[in-house]
A and B are shown apart, each in its own frame.
Chain A
Amino acid sequence: MKLLVAVKRVVDFNVKVRVKADQTGVELANVKMSMNPFDEIGVEEAVRLKEAGTVDEIVAVSMGPQQCQETIRTALAMGADRGILVKTDDELQPLAVAKLLKAIVEEEKPDIVILGKQAIDDDSNQTGQMLAGLLGWSQGTFASKLALTDGEAEVTREIDGGLETVKLKLPAVVTTDLRLNEPRYASLPNIMKAKKKTIDEKSPADYGVDTAPRLKTLKVEEPPKRSAGIKVADAAELVSKLREEGVI
Chain B
Amino acid sequence: MTMPEDIAAEGQDMEQIRQAVRALCADFPGKYWRQKDRDREYPTEFVTALTKSGFLAALIPEEYGGSGLGVTHAGAILEEIQKSGCNGGACHAQMYIMGTILRHGSPEQKARWLPKIASGELRLQAFAVTEPTSGTDTLSLSTTAERDGDHYVVNGQKVWTSRAEHSDLMLLLARTMPKDKVEKRTDGLSVFVVDMRKALGNGLTIRPIRAMINHSTTEVFFDNMKVPAENLIGQEGKGFRCIIDGMNAERILIAHECIGDGRWFIKKATDYANERVVFGRPIGQNQGIQFPIARAYAAIEAADLMVKKAAAMFDAGQPCGPEANMAKMIGSEAAWQAAEACMQTHGGFAFAEEYDIERKFRETRLYQIAPISTNLILAYIAEHVLGLPRSY
Contacts and interface: CB of A to CB of B under 8 A. Distances in A.
A77 B68 CA distance: 17
A89 B55 CA distance: 36
Contacts of A192: 13, 62, 67-69
By secondary structure, the A interface counts as helix
Interface string B134-149: 0000000000000000
Contacts of B52: 187
Nearest to A195: B13
Interface in B58-94: 58, 62, 67-69, 77
B58 A188 contact: yes
Contact of A77 (B20, B24, B69): B20
Contacts of A191: 13, 16-17, 20
Interface residues of B, number: 20
B16 A74 contact: yes
Nearest to B15: A70
A91 to B, nearest CB: 24
Nearest to A189: B54
A227 B62 CA distance: 59
A77 B54 contact: no
Nearest to B49: A185
A157 interface: no
Nearest to A69: B12
Contact of A189 (B13, B16, B24, B67): B67
A186 interface: yes
A166 to B, nearest CB: 32
B182 interface: no
Interface in B1-42: 12-13, 15-17, 19-20, 23-24
A185 B20 contact: yes
Contacts of B62: 192
Contact of B55 (A34, A70, A73, A188): A188
B67 A188 contact: yes
Given A77-B20, A192-B67, A187 B13 contact: no
Given A70-B12, A73-B12, A195-B13, A186 B20 contact: yes
**Which of A34, A188, A192 has most B Cβ within 10 Å?**
A188
A195 B68 CA distance: 14
A189 B68 CA distance: 10
Interface in A43-94: 70, 73-74, 77
B53 interface: yes
A131 B253 CA distance: 49
Contact of B24 (A34, A70, A74, A185): A185
Contact of A187 (B15, B53, B68): B53
A70 B57 CA distance: 24
A191 B67 CA distance: 10
Nearest to A191: B16
A187 B53 CA distance: 4
A188 B69 CA distance: 10
B156 to A, nearest CB: 38
Question: Which of A74, A187, A192, A194 counts the most chain B CB atoms within 10 A?
Answer: A192
Interface in B94-121: none
Nearest to B118: A189
Given A70-B15, A189-B54, A192-B68, 12 more contacts: A34-B19, A73-B13, A74-B19, A185-B19, A186-B19, A186-B20, A186-B53, A187-B53, A188-B53, A191-B13, A191-B20, A195-B13
Interface of A: 34, 70, 73-74, 77, 185-192, 194-195
Interface of B: 12-13, 15-17, 19-20, 23-24, 52-55, 57-58, 62, 67-69, 77
14 contacts: A34-B19, A70-B12, A73-B13, A185-B19, A185-B24, A186-B20, A187-B52, A187-B53, A187-B55, A188-B20, A188-B58, A189-B54, A191-B17, A194-B16
